[in-house]
Structure formats: structure tokens, C-alpha cells
Amino acid sequence: MQLSLIKHQGCATPFLRHLLDFRVCQTRQRSQGCKIACTVIRHRWMKRAPVFCTHNTTNKMISTQADKENIDMSKFPVERIRNFSIIAHIDHGKSTLADRLLELTGAIATTDKNKQVLDKLQVERERGITVKAQTASLFYKYQGQTYLLNLIDTPGHVDFSYEVSRSISACQGVLLIVDANQIDLKNADPERVEKQIEKVFDIPTEECIRISAKLGTNVEQVLQEVVKRLPPPTFKKEDPFKALVFDSNFDHYRGVVANIALFGGYLSKGDRIISAYLGKSYEVNELGLLRPDEHPTDRLYAGQVGYVIAGMKEVKEAQIGDTLYHQKHLVEAFPGFKPAKAMVFAGMYPMDQSDYSALRSAVEKLTLNDSSVTVQRDSSLALGAGWRLGFLGLLHMEVFNQRLEQEYNASVIVTAPTVPYKAILSSAKLIKEHGKEEITIVNPAQFPDRSVVKEYLEPMVMGTIITPDDYIGKIMSICLNRRAVQKNMVYIDDHRVMMKYLFPLNEIVVDFYDLLKSMSSGYASFDYEDAGYQAAHVIKMDILLNGKPVEELTTIVHKDRAYSAGKAMCERLQDAIPRQMFEIAVQAAIGSKVIARETIKAYKKNVLAKCYGGDITRKMKLLKKQAEGKKKMRYVGTVQVPKDAFINVLKRKDK
């Protein structure tokens, strides 16, 4: 399976183009049975080096025993430092390549058990994907000199693009990985992939390295080319100390552990440093490298990447993008990272309101580690106090929820995901109340009535689909069903097509990716980027259970699809909600008008089981009494909606 990659002047893949603007410098060595095309690329402002030849050099790695000793970081001048990330689409073998690089440099012992070594989270192990960028410092001996290679393994899914953009800020180049066959199948065709790269991105096929991360073929060649092709940092240890906080996490005993990249000077244990964001002063308690586990050192120097623990006990003290500098030398702060733009919003509430404080602490600590999540206080009549959280996608939301449960033992209710709509108000009173004419709605329950609105706007995205031409008809059909408008379609080779569609974000956010994979037997890829807002005829649809609106199931739908959407949601709720001792009426309503209804039948006890003949009036009396009890229960009973129903009710099957 071949997926999209970077173009040197303008990439056709939104995900990678959004993160990077690089010029590509590639090299190639041919060998039999190789599965993966690997590209070494450098920043756009770097001068492109000429095509080079392969050198057969015997390299010796520093042993793991040396790692246990104190490492003198002053022995690594800036000229012998390389900071790089691994960039690729999902399931292209980034973590597998990282495992081989760790083994080759002696950072970990070579064993068959080395699988996803840098994927440390339980959710990463269970799902088999990378969701959190991880750093590892490698020592590599090349041509008689030892180099310090700082590797950052990044996620491949578009929902975690913010992790990638932050990681790149600490690097001078990246390895771009393109899987030429997807999981080492027999039909590997590297030649065809190279031709695609040349046709789409104008990169000569002679400039690729073919490797197999699974088998370890030519992986050492990658390290050699990293040393030869990627530029060293341009910082000086003589300059005042200045460091960028590009990641952080919270340790229960030690407080905040910040990952930093030094852009000048050096940092020693015991130094007093200041946070440019808060202006607070801290004493450095511990600092060191990640190999990939923490390895304390006495100092870190300009151009190096490591971690620092400075007694930050509060989550709010560690801000991603913050600048750290020495107390005696004031420096100009970094501009910081551009905040992530949330694409999906959902309400999050504790199962029990008594757990609110504990859940708040857990959310604060987890958002320190995942700063792309936006948090806003919210409340619900049914669920109590909680938060309205913004995510980069549905997978991002599911992973965040799973991490809360696994890492903090938090039990939460997550409402149906929604996208941010906009409304242009016509009511002078509301304009005065909000202070502006255009407002953004992230909670469907707060959707303003049509009578006070000039126009509704819905978010749009430009989606890029790359697929074998055998599936064009099916994919065009599902795109049409999702109100997509085709913008472009080109053949990138004899058998693969790249299609661009303008989608309403609401149509793709829940289940479009899964459906696309199903329709194309897993061969199609899908990326999207923000395309602004567009006027739309949308309305608010309420879901009623026994006549009572369930705020958490309120959704925004297109006017032309209101009936079909309401009927489908009622049917799915009928399947999702377990039967009760009383009858449950599931209704979809627009305003006061009910447009769809399903009924969940009640469990019924046989009250006549003990009656053996006798007067019929006795049986009728028992049945009447039972019916009255059921009716009473229906009015006073509480309908329990399962947690997974909030997401499952939004999924639909396109025919």
C-alpha cells in the first residue's frame, strides 16, 4: 500500500504539508527484498547537497554498559550533534524503524521482544499506534568520531499532528518513511512507489534508500546518511542559556518533567532558571538524556535535547512552548507554539459528581501531556458539572478518554461529539449580549433559534483521498452521500488516483474513515485540512426519552436530512439502550414537532402465574394493577443511556 508524501515545493497531502515545508534530499541504495523507501530531508532554508555515493564504513556502537556510567556531554560539540524526527503516515513502520535504530546504537539490547519500545503508553500498546511523540538519544560512532543523534518518534495519524509539529521545532531535519508494500507482503513493488514519488513530487528515483525495518536490512545506512546529510544545530555553548520546552509530563513524586531543546549556552544541576511565561524562578534538581529511559547527567549543552526537573509542582507551571533561561542572563523569549485548532468537541462529566475534583486534577495533568486539547467549564442539568473539551479528531477523543481511565482510574461520561458551528445574529439584544454579530457554537444545546439568526455557517475541510482506481465508483458514491463536492481528480500512476473533495466536517468526523477503509479493502488513504466555513441550512434536532429531552444527544443536522437522521438515531438508540421494567419512547424532534419514534418494549412479569382458574375478574384486576405500576414507573423511572451509545448513535452505514 502506498500513501501520500511530501512535495518539495507544495505537498498534495494536507497532513504533511500542514506540518512541514521542507526541501527534499534523498539517497538510495538498492538491495534484494527491501520493503521500505526511506528519505532524508532537511529544512527548506538549508542548501541542497549534491547527490552522493555510498561508503562502506565499519561502524562500532557505544555499548549499553557505557550508558550506565556518567556521560560527559561536553565531548559532543555542536558539529557532532544531529536532531531529527521520523515522519510517516500511520502504519508505515516508524516505531519499527526506531526499534532498529535503538538496537544498532546500543541504546537497547537486541532481542525479539523489542516491539514499539518507544510506545510507552498502555493505549499505544493496545491499539498498535503511536499517539505520543517520544525522544531517544543515540550514540553512534562513524569514521572514528562519536556522534550524538537525538531521535524523536512521532505519531502518524492526522489527529495527533500537533505532536509532530512540536517535535519538529527541536529538529534540524527528518526521516520521511514511505511503506512500499504495507506490512511486508509478497507483492512489494518499490519501483512503482519510487515512480509515484518522482511523478508527484519531482524527486528522482535514484535518491531513495531502500530498507526493511522489520528485517533490519540497510538500517545502518540510514544512520550513516543522517550523519552525512542532516545539518548540525547552529547554536553555540558560549551564548547565554536558552531552552525551548517542547513537551512535558507530570510525575506524582517529582512534579513536572519537561523535555527541552537547548538553543544556546549550557545547563547544570543546581542552576537557577526562570520561566519566561510565568516569570518564576526554579532550581534545577535533575537533568539528563532520554536513552529512551531517563539517564541523568551533570550538564546539557547547546544543540542537545534532554529533560529537566526543576521543582515545578503545579501543572500550570509547565507550558508547552515556554522559554527557559538562566537567572543572570535575560534572553528574548520564543514566540511559542501556535495553539491547536480543535475540530471536534464533546462534553465530559464524572460518573459521580463527588469525583469532580479528582477528575479535574486528572484532566489538568493529562492536558499538560497533551496540550492540543482545549478545556472549557460546562454544566448539564442531567449530568452536573463537567467540561466541554476540544479535540483534533474522533480518534484523539477516544484515546484521551482511554488514557483518563487507564492512567488516572477515572470513570467519565463522554457525550456525542460535535463540530463548531457559527451563527450570524440578527437580534440586536443578542448582539449586545455577546458583544459581536458572529458567534461560535460548540455545544448543540446552545444552538440559537432560527428566528434570531441571519445565517448559519458550518465548518468545511478539504479532503484528499488516494486510492486504487478499482474503488473509484464506491468512493465517489460515499462522498456524494456525505454532501461532498469534488474539486479535483488526477491519476498519480497507472493504477492509483488522487481525489480532492470539499467536505462538511460534520459528515466525516465520526465514521467516514472507517467506511472508506472498508469500501477500499484498506487500500485508500484519507487526509484533510481546514477549509474555513460555508453557509448551510442546518437545524437542531433533540432526542427525547419518554418525553424528556436528553441534552447530551442533541445534534445539529442538515435540514434536508433531518428525517432520515432522526429515524436512524432512534433505531440505533433502540438497540443501544437496554430494556427496562417500563416502556421507553425514543423520539427525535425539531422544535415541538416529533419527526421519528421508536419504542423499547418493557420487561413483563407473568402476574397470572399463580392463578389456577377461578373468576376472570381476578386476573383482570392483576393485569390492570400491573399496567398502572408500569405507567407510574414510566413517569418516575430514569432511563440509563450506556456510555458507548453517545458515539455509536452517530455512526451510519452508507449504501
Region 616-640: what's the mean pLDDT? 67
pLDDT recorded at residue 476: 94
Question: Would you say 631 is a known binding-site residue?
Answer: no
Question: Would you say 642 is a known binding-site residue?
Answer: no
Question: Would you say 92 is a known binding-site residue?
Answer: yes
Q: Are 442 and 418 in contact (CB under 8 A)?
A: yes
Question: What pLDDT, in 10s, does the model give residues 632-643?
Answer: 555 444 666 766
- Higher pLDDT: 267 or 382? It is 267
Architecture of domain 344-414: 2-Layer Sandwich (3.30)
Question: What pLDDT, in 10s, does the model give residues 176-196?
Answer: 887 776 545 566 778 878 877
Question: Would you say 418 is a known binding-site residue?
Answer: no
Question: What pLDDT, in 10s, does the model give residues 453-509?
Answer: 999 999 999 999 999 989 999 999 999 999 999 999 998 877 889 999 999 998 888
Angle between helices 512-519 and 472-481 (to 10 degrees): 160
Does the pLDDT of residue 21 top 70, yes or no?
no
Question: Would you say 153 is a known binding-site residue?
Answer: yes
Region 16-40: what's the mean pLDDT? 42
pLDDT recorded at residue 607: 62
Question: Would you say 72 is a known binding-site residue?
Answer: no
Domain 242-326: assigned CATH number: 2.40.30.10
- Distance separating alpha carbons of residues 165 and 341, to the nearest angstrom: 13
- Distance separating alpha carbons of residues 241 and 305, to the nearest angstrom: 13
Question: Would you say 88 is a known binding-site residue?
Answer: yes
Query: Three-state SS for 639?
Result: coil
Architecture of domain 14-229: 3-Layer(aba) Sandwich (3.40)
Question: Would you say 18 is a known binding-site residue?
Answer: no
Question: Would you say 95 is a known binding-site residue?
Answer: yes
Question: What pLDDT, in 10s, does the model give residues 361-381?
Answer: 999 888 888 888 889 888 877
pLDDT recorded at residue 638: 63
What is the SS3 assignment for 424-454? EECCHHHHHHHCCCEEEECCHHHCCCHHHEE
Does the pLDDT of residue 518 top 60, yes or no?
yes
* CATH code matching the domain that covers 539-648, chosen among 3.30.70.1560, 1.10.10.60, 3.30.70.100, 3.30.70.2570: 3.30.70.2570
Where does residue 48 rank: exposed (0-12), middle (13-18), buried (19+ CB within 10 A)? exposed
Residue owning grid cell 550506565: 68
- Using a pLDDT cut of 90, give the percent of the chain over it: 19
Question: Would you say 43 is a known binding-site residue?
Answer: no
Region 382-392: what's the mean pLDDT? 85
Sorting pLDDT into bands at 50, 70 and 90, what band is 65? very low
- Higher pLDDT: 490 or 126? It is 490
pLDDT recorded at residue 596: 93
- Distance separating alpha carbons of residues 524 and 514, to the nearest angstrom: 11
Where does residue 636 rank: exposed (0-12), middle (13-18), buried (19+ CB within 10 A)? exposed
Does the pLDDT of residue 17 top 70, yes or no?
no
| Domains 344-414 and 421-536 equal at CATH topology level | yes
Question: Would you say 93 is a known binding-site residue?
Answer: yes
Question: Would you say 110 is a known binding-site residue?
Answer: no
- Distance separating alpha carbons of residues 222 and 70, to the nearest angstrom: 28
pLDDT recorded at residue 45: 35
Does the pLDDT of residue 652 top 60, yes or no?
no
pLDDT recorded at residue 650: 60
Does the pLDDT of residue 41 top 50, yes or no?
no
- Distance separating alpha carbons of residues 545 and 600, to the nearest angstrom: 10
- Higher pLDDT: 12 or 223? It is 223
| 396, three cell numbers | 484523539
Of 19-28, 355-364, 645-654, give the range with the top mean pLDDT. 355-364
**What mean pLDDT value characterizes the chain?**
79
Where do the structural domains in the chain lie, given as residue ranges?
14-229, 242-326, 344-414, 421-536, 539-648
Question: Would you say 154 is a known binding-site residue?
Answer: yes
DSSP state string for 223-284: HHHHHHHSPPP---TTSPPEEEEEEEEEETTTEEEEEEEEEESEEETT-EEEETTT--EEE-
Sorting pLDDT into bands at 50, 70 and 90, what band is 644? low
Region 384-400: what's the mean pLDDT? 87
Region 330-344: what's the mean pLDDT? 81
| pTM beyond 0.75, yes or no | no
- Using a pLDDT cut of 70, give the percent of the chain over it: 82
Domain 421-536 has CATH 3.30.70.240: yes
